[in-house]
Amino acid sequence: MKKLIVIICLTILGVIILTGCSTSASATPPAVTQQESLSESPQTTGQEAVETQNNANSNSSSASSNAELVLFDPAKPLSDEELVFAGGVRLEMSYEEVLGILGGYDESYDNAPGVKSIDKNGVHYGFYESDGVYRLKDLTLSESSKEIFPRGIMVGDKIEDVLNKFPGNDKKLRKWAVQKIYGEDLMEGHYADLEFRMYDECYHLVIKTPKAMMAVNFNTNNCVRYIEVYGDI
């Protein structure tokens, strides 16, 4: 009889112990590995990351890639009002104004006291200090740039196509030192000369407005190589 009671007690005790262990195990939160934790955290997929970066790049360069094209009459000389560049940049704008339009720069330089410059999308912008303000005085469209300069001229354009954007009757390529395209040197500042320089055997089209000068430089294949624009310094 005593043995039976002992067996019953041990059986009841064992059930209690097993039940307690089961309850304890279910109450303990399962361990989470570092990998599982990372996978549960919000992640940006590779596709989304690329799109985000592309959007950021697009926003930063949208001003410079969408040049403000100005209507022009090829029968009339180039005017100062036509000298509008990437996104609406103009000569004499302040350094801060230009940066605001371009959305930043690719490279910046402190060239000398009172002189600084930046590069953006293959265009070099030069600033000179005047009365404490740095103002845009010159631009250079490099060989690698896809930007559009006044009268829709771009790197790679043929010389015949460029000359057809300006007035003038004598546009035959003569390899002269100076060939007058239109105007007189002192005619209110409006003139265009086509020069053939022996040192590089290339043509250079120099166009003068009352307040600025644009030089279109061609390569040996008579295609636009680079363009320079200078204001009053």
Phi, psi (degrees; rounded to nearest 5) at 132: 80, 5
Q: Is the pLDDT of residue 5 over 60?
A: no
- Which among 180, 182, 185, 217 has a CA at the least distance from the CA of 202? 217
Mean pLDDT of 165-170: 92
Q: pTM of the predicted model, to two decimals?
A: 0.70
221-to-161, 173, 195, 217 alpha-carbon distances in Å? 13, 13, 15, 11
Q: Is the pLDDT of residue 139 over 90?
A: yes
Q: Is the pLDDT of residue 191 over 60?
A: yes
Phi, psi (degrees; rounded to nearest 5) at 125: -115, 125
Cα(197)–Cα(214) distance, rounded to whole angstroms?
Answer: 17
Q: Is the pLDDT of residue 120 over 60?
A: yes
